[in-house]
Structure 1
Amino acid sequence: MSSIAKAIQEFSSFIWGLPLLILLIGGGIYLLIRSQFVPFRFFGHAIQVLRGKYDDPNDPGQISHFQALTTALSATVGMGNISGVAVAIAVGGPGAIFWMWVSAVVGMSTKFFTSALAIMFRGKDSDGELQGGPMYFITEGLGKSWKPLALFFSACAMIGALPVFNVNQLTQAINDIMLKPNGVTVNDTTNWIIGIVLVVITSIVVLGGLKRISKVTAKLVPAMVLLYFILVLVILGVNIDVVPKYFGMIFTDAFSADFIKPDAFYGGALGTLIILGIRRGAFSNEAGIGTAPMAHGAAKTAEPVREGLVAMLGPFIDTIVVCTLTALAILVTGVWQTSGDNGVSLTATAFGEAMPGIGKYLLMICVAVFSISSLFSYSYYGTKSLSFLTKAKYKHFYNYLFIASIILGATSDLDTMISLIDSAFALMAIPTMLATIILAPKVMRETKKYISKMKEDI
């Protein structure tokens, strides 16, 4: 097992090298310029679409714009925001957050294009149900000769959608926040019990399909983001005197890499810091990976540009808002320098420092909801991928693999889980970004038509 874990970690480090960084960030910058900054110019309009101003119940699709965004966000606003940020700071210091921001700004344009394509080039599964996502816009937009690339994406997505990282971090949080402080001995038995409880909760929702998933996430995600926002504001209020100092360090350390750990050098401290920030940012907001377009491709709309605009709100909420809140909570409490913890345990230590007695338990509520809601969306992504690879009637078999892997996540170590999902995400990004860059001109033609139509309506 140790040899397998080492191999997975080495492959993850290799695949997340400079070529993929160029594809994700370089490709994203190209899309940003190609879009003429439409995602930012029409931010207000995107909010109006999200609120349902342009909803038409007769449009094709399965779920509303709001449900599509919350389904996508339930996957992205999760442990990446609470644990992934902590990992980035523990390894790279405050400067890593700046590069997560860069990933988010670029990611907003990437999400705009990928999710617009998910509506533009929807296909039908073997049951005749309308579907969207990278595997469909590759085959419908680029032609059947590109199908091997779509099959490759779907195979990698089945691995990337496994819940092992979220479950691993939720198990760690329950152990460190709930069990150990109350004198409970943590061992394989307690981890198995946590895994089984998660299996039961997840099964109830995911076996109900997309509509049940979207209804649950539409209620859970906004409430938890609001609660998390309030809790971090309390932490910042308690430590208000040092907030400007650490906020400034996010910018100054981004180019000096003073805090990066010596064992993290792979061709220069600054290069390592940039890759670390981009990698954790991509893990957090998943822009360019191809997961969110699978949710947005199910939205009830006949306007691809509208769904693209709604989708680009995802990286803003996920990384610019939620990840920054986590980062500031960890930085202003000083635990990133005084604690030996990593991942979700580091974030929990920060909450405990600022709000003794109750802080860790309040974080536990957020962690539990974020993690469990992520499980719901990822199961949908996995079933959709299996459906494309085989036939729609077989898609439910993925749920059984998904549910079984919850136990694996609850009983495995963090580094292996991060490397496994990172590797799958990297491999998913290659077909997603290549197809998006090639099809970008078609999105822009549709965008110009949509903007002209908007002006006529005004």
Structure 2
Amino acid sequence: MTLASISAEFADLAWGPHMLVLLVGGGLFFILYSRFIPFRYLGHAVAIVRGKHPDKGAVGHISHAGALSSAMAGTVGMGNIGSVAVAIVVGGPGAIFWMWISAIVGMATKFFTCTLAIMYRGKDENGQVQGGPMYIITQGLGKKWHFLAVFFCVVGLVGNFPLFNTNQLVQILKEWLIIKPGFYGEDQPTFWLDLSMGIVVMFLVASVILGGIKRIASVASSVVPTMILLYMSCAFYVIATHIEEIPGYFSLIVEQAFSLNSVGGGILGTMLIGIRRAAFSNEAGIGTEVMAHGSAKTSEPVKEGLVAMLGPAIDTLLVCSATAMIILISGVWQTTDVSGVSLSARAFESTMPGVGPYLLIVCVFFFSISTIFTQAFYGGQCFSFLFGAKRVKYYQYFFLLAILFAATATLDEIVNIIDGAYALMAIPTMVSALLLAPKVKAAADDYFARLNKR
């Protein structure tokens, strides 16, 4: 058996219909249980991010905006560019519809999980306040559930390796900056080229991740909003120049979502593909983003839950939709056998001839690097919980070496490994959130009552 076949079997086993019940069913429960109330306060969430409701003297490391930017740095990345392309190739346009549904449901999930991240924070051996599913489980559910926290951290070590972002970054740089200009033959083996590019990425990442969450938040706060603006500007240009075609593509997405003859293997197959790609894109219910929001400087858990809801809205409903439209407008998804970021680059080449792929390269570079920075923090948090904060540097060394593996592995191997790990991470995250949902509802009722009295 090869790594490709083993990883494919692992991902398919992990992402069975039970994940549909857990992620979508759990999210629907959160929506109904909260009576849609958090959705009414999204404007208030924007005000919090803008700094209009500061928490003076609150514990934590970073601001609400810094927490959102760090979480967005972990989600707005190759999942919005390469993963959307994978969704369309594997599941057809209908997979995008289920990504949308998963994002809306995921907003409620993030409200509950990230509110809990502030309610149940712990301290590492250095006395630093930390948050995440492992602390929610041990602080909120008690020591008898400690095994579930350990399980999350073990699979989180793998799930947070920088595999997909590194792989796709190397792919687009190699294809458009080295092979297409003629510096390297298309038929030549690329292992040593991939490895060399991986080494460059490794040293670049090492210069930042050793600085911890404060440095990561600082970089993310400046880079992520700028790159989202650049990427969306490109997308709006393409959409505006093909505006008459957009209604037809929306119809195609909805039609294919419920087609028995879809590429993804019927309605259930397309649904599962869309949910898998949405989970990779916005990470709602996976538990990673909970660690970033758990570092926010606030004494009001509900405020951070509201801020976290903005993540899937920006990430999937906005950025992923823009990518999907560019790919569908270009038509390359029907005429080429490439996938991932290579498909997205060809879509940009078709819709913005000459300059498109290179604008995409700029976005991909910063999206990928900022995501890798955040993944290093997430993985370090898992390692710290298991082995102590003073030993995190050992994980960081493995993390950096994983970049070399990712640079030389195939896209299918990478996607399957991460998909499987994310599915396993979702189990303790969603189980703990469902069990502690009454605590969140009580805190939300209290916060909104006080807010409405002002």
Residue 20 of structure 1, CA deviation: 1.5
Normalising to structure 1: TM-score of the pair?
A: 0.97
Q: Does 1:232 align with 2:229?
A: no
Q: Does 1:351 align with 2:348?
A: yes
8 Å contact 2:216–2:374 — kept in the other structure?
yes
Residue 30 of structure 1, CA deviation: 0.3
8 Å contact 1:287–1:315 — kept in the other structure?
yes
Provide the residue aligned with 2:315 in structure 1.
Answer: 318
Provide the residue aligned with 1:132 in structure 2.
Answer: 131
Provide the residue aligned with 1:29 in structure 2.
Answer: 28
Letter in 2 for 1:224: M
Any idea what the Cα deviations from partners look like across 1:411-431, whole Å, max 9, x if unmatched?
Answer: 000101101011110110000
Residue 153 of structure 1, CA deviation: 0.3
8 Å contact 2:115–2:305 — kept in the other structure?
yes
Aligned pairs, number? 450
Identity %: 50
Provide the residue aligned with 1:60 in structure 2.
Answer: 59
| Among candidates 368, 371, 384, match of residue 371 of structure 1 | 368
| Among candidates 267, 275, 280, match of residue 283 of structure 1 | 280
Counterparts of 1:291 and 1:92 in 2: how far apart (Å)? 25
Residue 236 of structure 1, CA deviation: 1.4
Any idea what the Cα deviations from partners look like across 1:290-336, whole Å, max 9, x if unmatched?
Answer: 00010000000000000000001000000000000000000011111
| Among candidates 299, 323, 332, match of residue 329 of structure 2 | 332
Provide the residue aligned with 1:51 in structure 2.
Answer: 50
Letter in 1 for 2:364: V
Provide the residue aligned with 2:338 in structure 1.
Answer: 341
Which stretches in structure 1 are left out of the alignment for 5+ residues?
Answer: none
Residue 247 of structure 1, CA deviation: 1.9
Higher alpha-carbon deviation: 114-123 or 191-200: 191-200
| Among candidates 219, 222, 225, match of residue 222 of structure 2 | 219
Provide the residue aligned with 1:299 in structure 2.
Answer: 296
Any idea what the Cα deviations from partners look like across 1:132-174, whole Å, max 9, x if unmatched?
Answer: 1100010000001110100100111110000011111111111
8 Å contact 2:262–2:270 — kept in the other structure?
no
Provide the residue aligned with 1:246 in structure 2.
Answer: 249
Letter in 1 for 2:234: L
Residue 241 of structure 1, CA deviation: 2.8
Q: Does 1:149 align with 2:148?
A: yes
Counterparts of 2:389 and 2:403 in 1: how far apart (Å)? 23
Letter in 2 for 1:86: A
8 Å contact 1:63–1:299 — kept in the other structure?
yes
Following superposition, which runs of at least 4 residues in structure 1 exceed 2 angstroms of deviation?
2-5, 237-241
8 Å contact 1:257–1:273 — kept in the other structure?
no
Counterparts of 1:257 and 1:200 in 2: how far apart (Å)? 48
Normalising to structure 2: TM-score of the pair?
A: 0.97
Residue 57 of structure 1, CA deviation: 4.2
| Among candidates 256, 259, 266, match of residue 256 of structure 1 | 259
Q: Does 1:402 align with 2:413?
A: no
Letter in 1 for 2:157: M
Which stretches in structure 2 are left out of the alignment for 5+ residues?
Answer: none
8 Å contact 1:119–1:307 — kept in the other structure?
yes
Residue 252 of structure 1, CA deviation: 1.8
SS at match of 1:245: helix
Q: Does 1:205 align with 2:202?
A: no
Any idea what the Cα deviations from partners look like across 1:45-83, whole Å, max 9, x if unmatched?
Answer: 110111111113411100000000010010100111000
SS at match of 1:182: coil
Summarize the alignment of residues 108-119 of structure 1 with structure 2, pairs less than 5 Å apart.
Answer: 108-119=107-118
User: Residues 337 and 90 from structure 1, CA distance in 2 versus in 1: closer, same or farther, beyond 3 angstroms?
Assistant: same
Residue 92 of structure 1, CA deviation: 1.9
